[in-house]
Amino acid sequence: MKRDSRVRLLTLVSVVLLGTACRQDMYDQPRVKPLGENDFFADGQGARPLPAHTVARGFLRENRALYAGTNPDGKFVSELPVPLTKALLERGHERFDVFCSPCHGKQGNGQGMIVQRGFKRPETYHQDRLRNQPIGYFYDVMTNGFNQMSSYASQVPVEDRWAIAAYIRALQYSQSVPAADLAAADRELLEKAEKNTVPAAKSGAAHEGVHP
């Protein structure tokens, strides 16, 4: 009985040791680390270049208008490549307030909070140059950046960039819409507001907004 017990014990210990050694060998097995060196290939790199025209799963971007904001001729699109809905504008408004208003201001006049604290002022959206830009221009600026503005492609998804662009266009229109295009009730409110407004020449204040 004692001899059998010793055999069982030795067998158990052997199994444990062999199992541990096998696991360690698997853990330390030869392998190529990502972006590590490897003398097997002529260029000395373990990572291999992607074959030409390879597209990662989920990253096919055939719709140029949607993903690049341009037509086949390379010019910016002048129409939204997504349906224009109230929900889209509401989403654009919410995302604009989060990502854009700190610099551009909630009215798009370039008077955001960080501008008031010393950051360089961006151009107002309510100038002719930007009012006349096609909507794809604003999507492109958000995607690739412009001057001091860096790219927001990694922070703002494609759909939200279009929502913001649509809201910018609505914001521009809100500051330059002809009074004749307003509903009667809105025209009445505008007329009352103008009567109660001190003329800019007397107050020294700049007036920018809806005009006849």
Its pTM surpasses 0.85: no
Supply the Cα-derived Rg of the chain in whole angstroms. Answer: 31
pLDDT in tens, the chain (212 residues): 456 677 676 777 666 655 555 566 666 777 777 788 888 888 888 888 888 888 888 888 889 999 999 999 999 999 999 999 999 999 999 999 999 999 999 999 999 999 999 889 999 999 999 999 999 999 999 999 998 899 999 999 999 999 999 999 999 998 888 888 888 888 888 888 888 865 544 444 444 444 43
Select from 182, 175, 163 the least CA-distant residue to 107.
175
Copy the structure tokens of residue 57: 């799963």
Q: Other CB atoms closer than 10 Å to residue 163's CB: what's the count?
A: 26
Residue ranges and CATH numbers for the domains of the chain are 76-201 (1.10.760.10)
